[in-house]
Amino acid sequence: MNRVAFITGGTRGIGRQIAITLAKAGYDVAVNYRAENEDLTITKSEIEKCNVKCLPVQGDVSEFEDSENMVKQVIEQFGRIDVLINNAGITKDTLLMRMKKEDFEAVLQVNLVGTFNVTKSVIPYMMKQKEGRVINLSSVVGISGNAGQANYAASKAGIIGFTKSLAKELGSRNILVNAVAPGFIETQMTDVLKDEMKEEIKKTIPLKRMGTVEDVANVVKFLASEESSYITGQVIQVDGGMLM
């Protein structure tokens, strides 16, 4: 039987690459999406090319009921969840002076509460299995802070506290919980930045380039594997040395 991975927001960007990388490693993959579109079709077909199963599950991670239903569907179909990757995330960048309460709440609701919703729904099954891995997508700005991203940085810092707390709660149950903190990765999320800004950012990165989705997915694959069985409660930066 293949190991089973469940990835939230898994149809494009970093989430899609994690799904494909794990599929190549032989996992059956459940991919959460919000609305059916071409991204989902492409992701599903890439996963199925790897001769593993792909289960698309529709839902909004910011809704607790949706999260519970999605997890139930994955369990019904695959019987277990070995690895949960909390990847779904949004930004609503602006300086605090201009940030509306709704902008702050929306980002916290998807990024942090969404991570809680799905994890809370998965953990009872991992406890029964007596093993499991949870991998949360944080960000370097959750460690360093960033002007114009008070909402996003707070959500990603919250994810770090959540990760470390769960690692302490669940270690004795053989459930390992870690976070990955990417720096600047080329995806649709960072496409919105102006070219001059991207060039300025690259100058601050020792490796002098933006990261790729593969750079992040490979670390997630390691954290999902047997090779990382003595690592829990850690935040692994994938940032080309940007933040030290």
Q: Where on the chain is the footprint of ligand NAD (CB under 6 A)?
A: 8-9, 11-15, 32, 34, 60-62, 87-90, 110, 114, 137, 139, 182, 184-185, 187-190
Q: Give least dist CB 66 to ligand NAD, A.
A: 8
Q: Which residue number, 127 or 243, has a Cβ lying nearer to ligand NAD? A: 243
Q: Which residue number, 4 or 14, has a Cβ lying nearer to ligand NAD? A: 14
Q: Give least dist CB 214 to ligand NAD, A.
A: 12
Q: What share of the chain is helix, strand, coil (3-state, %, to 5)?
A: 50, 15, 35
Q: Which residue number, 46 or 131, has a Cβ lying nearer to ligand NAD? A: 46
Answer yes or no: are the C-beta atoms of 149 and 102 closer than 8 Å.
no
Q: Give least dist CB 189 to ligand NAD, A.
A: 3
Q: Which residue number, 71 or 88, has a Cβ lying nearer to ligand NAD? A: 88
Q: Which of 27, 33, 152, 230 is catalytic?
A: 152
Both tokens of 26, joined, read 């032989």
Interatomic CA distance for residues 226 and 147, integer angstroms: 38
Q: Which residue, 34, 72, 78, is CA-closest to 55?
A: 78
Q: Give least dist CB 5 to ligand NAD, A.
A: 15
Interatomic CA distance for residues 162 and 14, integer angstroms: 21
Residue 117: C-alpha distances to residues 70, 110, 114, 134, 195 (Å): 11, 10, 5, 13, 36
Q: Give least dist CB 131 to ligand NAD, A.
A: 25
Both tokens of 229, joined, read 């069985």
Torsion, Cα 200 203 209 213, to 10 degrees, reads -50
Answer yes or no: are the C-beta atoms of 207 and 235 closer than 8 Å.
no
Active site residue 33: no
Q: Which residue number, 119 or 187, has a Cβ lying nearer to ligand NAD? A: 187
Catalytic residue IDs: 152
